[in-house]
């Protein structure tokens, strides 16, 4: 049971809502300021006066972390989550809700500022100026949360009900300051698309989707109907299905449909489909009218765990995969596992390769969980699938927060992709799914790791067995060709005469090594 943290500015009602929410959920309630005073044996005002704000923040962070395992409702101080490390720890472990209200409402509730060290002794005009300065300084910290609730024109009971519905939600925050967004995972979450679209942009919705003639899926029409019923004009853009159509011509189709419909900079470009749709939609949104809002409703497992999250967009060129693109974050991502029910089994299983990659990067606990869930995942069991998506997205969100533009640690997410992309290109993007290619690419990466003395035999056997148990291919030698290996030369991670190659060790122990093309080819050939 996750601890629920109520954050936000002074006067937003954190303590009042916390008491009511604790009663509603039958959970203990912790007022962090009261716990700090009990621990210190003095009032917060006195701590500020005698020890300084730095000492107070240190004690505040220590006691906040101690609540992570308590499953309580915690009312935080207004400045608690300005501590970046603490904020990210609580986002990972708990449910963080920011309470907001109009500044004039906050000032009315605060009164003369009594008992609030940052406002003590100030005149009305000074209190207003100080509060506005605090709100501006803390805006990025307050934005990094699982949800926001406006308590200015909402009753306590209404606020409590809004937060209570989140307690069982699966949401992963991608914390990027004012560009923060949430990845919502579960059955039926696509029903929230109209509400999320309204928050993201006020104009028309350019709905981009693909269609497979042999397996038409209902989800683009379903999403369009929900938006239309909410009063939004939808411009539907249909792309040809498949990786071979991931080219600039498809991007032009999106641009032209949007411009012909007369959309403006208040538009939302919304991708509903798999990874190809997601990448092309993202690139189109990042460049249309120099950038409009982007939303993602991924409908394949692969796109849920990979392309819809993190902001990498792009398309293929004759020299290789994803060689032209941008970094552009969405405003929201809705991963509705119900959409997987119309996916071919082979396509769904293919997406598990990215799950294996994420687990291996994450560490031992994630790999062990995946091994325990392997049979259920292969069969498409919903609970196991939600766990796998959440694990993968959490790992990616953590890495993107640290390295949004792939300057360092984010390169780890390319595990299996260097050779995998070469295999896809050599097959002309036909007959080998992306996930299958990544699985084979991880086998190749294991061989490189062994050659470099980084990967031990038990890790090779374990990762290979996990891929096989999930129904993914491990027969690299039968699919390998010189043409596939030659495509490595066009890899985006190439620098001079070497390629920055992601090498797996044990779970949670991955590194990037600059290796020559010759060394990689020799190791992969085995």
| Domain assignment of residue 237, yes or no | yes
Asked if residues 300 and 274 have their Cβ atoms less than 8 Å apart, the reply is: yes
- Residue 381 falls inside a structural domain: no
Between CA 487 and CA 489 the distance in angstroms is 5
* Strand, helix or coil for residue 294: strand
Enumerate the H helices of 288-344 as residue ranges.
301-302
pLDDT at 442: 97
Q: Which of 134, 168, 202 is the last residue of a domain?
A: 168
Do 247 and 108 fall within a single domain?
A: no
Predicted confidence at residue 493, as pLDDT, reads 63
Q: Classify residue 103: in a domain, yes or no.
A: yes
Per the document, the length of the chain is 526
Residue 506: per-residue pLDDT: 96
Does residue 214 share a domain with residue 162? no
Provide the number of structural domains found in the chain: 3
Q: Do 316 and 421 sit in the same domain of this protein?
A: no
CATH of the domain at 474: 1.20.1090.10
Ranges of the chain with pLDDT below 50: none
Within this chain, do residues 453 and 483 fall inside the same structural domain, yes or no?
yes
**Predicted local distance difference test score (pLDDT) of residue 429:** 87
Please indicate, yes or no, whether residues 55 and 98 belong to a single structural domain of this protein.
yes
Assess whether 98 and 27 both reside in one domain: yes
- Report the alpha-carbon angle 179-268-276, nearest 5: 90
Q: Is residue 394 part of a domain?
A: no
Residue 387 lies in a domain: no
CATH at 125: 3.40.50.300
**Does a structural domain hold residue 160?**
yes
Say whether both 157 and 192 belong to one domain.
no
Query: What tens digit of pLDDT does each residue of 54-63 get?
Result: 999 999 999 9
pLDDT of amino acid 319: 86
Element (H or E) spanning 462, and its range?
Answer: helix 457-469
Task: Decide: pTM greater than 0.85.
Answer: yes
DSSP letters for 35-57: HHHHHHTS-HHHHHHHH-HHHHH
183 and 332 inside one domain: yes
Q: What is the pLDDT of residue 118?
A: 79
Domain span holding position 29:
4-168
Residues 108, 254 within the same domain = no
Inside any domain, residue 326: yes
307 lies in the same domain as 434: no
Of 168, 190, 216, which marks where a domain is finished?
Answer: 168
Catalytic (active-site) positions: 290, 312, 354, 396, 406, 410, 414, 417, 421, 434
Q: What pLDDT score was predicted for residue 491?
A: 67
Instruction: Return the CATH number at 245.
Output: 3.40.50.1970
Which class for 161: exposed (0-12), middle (13-18), buried (19 or more C-beta within 10 A)? middle
| Residue 363: inside a domain | no
**Residue finishing a domain among 306, 322, 343:** 343
Dihedral sign from CA coordinates of 287, 292, 293, 298:
negative
Claim to verify: residue 194 and residue 326 sit in the same structural domain:
yes
Same domain, yes or no: 10 and 159: yes
| pLDDT of amino acid 496 | 64
């Amino acid at each position: 049971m996750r601890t629920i943290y109520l954050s936000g500015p002074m006067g937003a009602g954190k303590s009042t809502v916390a008491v009511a929410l604790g009663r509603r959920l039958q959970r203990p309630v912790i007022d962090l300021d009261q716990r700090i005073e009990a621990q210190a044996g003095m009032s917060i005002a006195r701590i500020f006066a005698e020890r300084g704000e730095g000492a107070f923040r240190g004690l505040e962070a220590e006691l906040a972390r101690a609540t992570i395992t308590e499953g309580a409702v915690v009312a935080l101080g207004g400045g608690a989550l300005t501590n970046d490390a603490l904020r990210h720890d609580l986002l990972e472990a708990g449910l963080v809700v920011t309470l907001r209200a109009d500044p004039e409402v906050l000032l009315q509730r605060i009164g003369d500022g009594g008992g609030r060290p940052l406002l003590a002794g100030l005149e009305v005009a000074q209190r207003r100026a100080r509060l506005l300065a605090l709100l501006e300084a803390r805006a990025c910290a307050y934005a990094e949360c699982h949800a926001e609730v406006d308590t200015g024109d909402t009753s306590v009971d209404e606020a409590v009900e809004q937060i209570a519905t989140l307690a069982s939600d699966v949401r992963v925050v991608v914390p990027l300051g004012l560009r923060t967004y949430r990845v919502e995972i579960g059955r039926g979450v696509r029903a929230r698309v109209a509400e999320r679209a309204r928050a993201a942009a006020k104009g028309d919705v350019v709905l981009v989707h693909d269609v497979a003639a042999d397996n038409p899926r209902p989800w683009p029409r379903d999403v369009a109907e929900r938006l239309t019923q909410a009063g939004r004009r939808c411009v539907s853009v249909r792309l040809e299905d498949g990786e071979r159509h991931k080219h600039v011509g498809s991007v032009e189709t999106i641009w032209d449909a949007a411009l012909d419909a007369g959309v403006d900079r208040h538009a939302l470009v919304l991708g509903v489909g798999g990874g190809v749709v997601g990448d092309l939609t993202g690139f189109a949104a990042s460049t249309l009218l120099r950038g409009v809002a982007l939303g993602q409703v991924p409908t394949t497992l692969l796109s849920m765990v990979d392309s819809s999250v993190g902001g990498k967009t792009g398309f293929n060129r004759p020299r290789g995969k994803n060689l032209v693109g941008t970094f552009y974050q969405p405003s929201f991502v809705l991963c509705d596992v119900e959409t997987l029910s119309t996916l071919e089994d082979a396509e769904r299983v293919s997406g598990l390769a990215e799950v294996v990659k994420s687990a291996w990067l994450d560490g031992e606990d994630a790999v062990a969980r995946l091994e325990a869930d392997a049979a259920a995942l292969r069969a498409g069991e919903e609970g196991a699938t939600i766990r796998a998506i959440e694990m993968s997205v959490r790992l990616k969100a953590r890495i993107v927060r640290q390295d949004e533009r792939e300057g360092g640690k984010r390169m780890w997410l390319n595990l299996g992709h260097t050779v995998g992309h070469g295999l896809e290109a050599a097959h002309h993007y036909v007959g080998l799914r992306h996930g299958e290619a990544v699985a084979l690419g991880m086998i190749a990466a294991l061989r490189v790791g062994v050659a470099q003395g980084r990967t031990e035999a038990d890790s090779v056997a374990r990762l290979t067995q996990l891929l096989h148990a999930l129904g993914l291919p491990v027969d690299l030698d039968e699919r390998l060709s010189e043409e596939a290996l030659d495509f490595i030369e066009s890899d985006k991670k190439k620098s001079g005469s070497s390629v920055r190659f992601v090498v797996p060790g044990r779970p949670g122990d991955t590194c990037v090594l600059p290796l020559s093309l010759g060394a990689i080819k020799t190791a992969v050939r085995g």
